[in-house]
Structure 1
């Protein structure tokens, strides 16, 4: 459920940035890939430990 809430919040913030025509302060793609890896590793470990 937390994943759905986070995704929804990100979508809403993205819409606000688009309406305001503001450039997103997101980090470079390499940092985003690293963050995605961290999150996937965390989720895998959490599901493995039960």
Structure 2
């Protein structure tokens, strides 16, 4: 995995570890994966009402 290897190095301009530099992107990918999994289980269970956006 790219992030695992790049975490060992330091960002030249900022002088901070790449792990902290890429952490928001990794967190976003993980969160998006959880939402996709939640939506997939909702569709497979037939709970399409969970996927509809509420209109106020």
Q: Which entry has the higher C-alpha Rg, 1 or 2? A: 2
Q: Which has the higher contact order (CA 8 A, sep 6+)?
A: 2
Return the TM-score normalized by structure 2.
Answer: 0.44
Return the TM-score normalized by structure 1.
Answer: 0.48
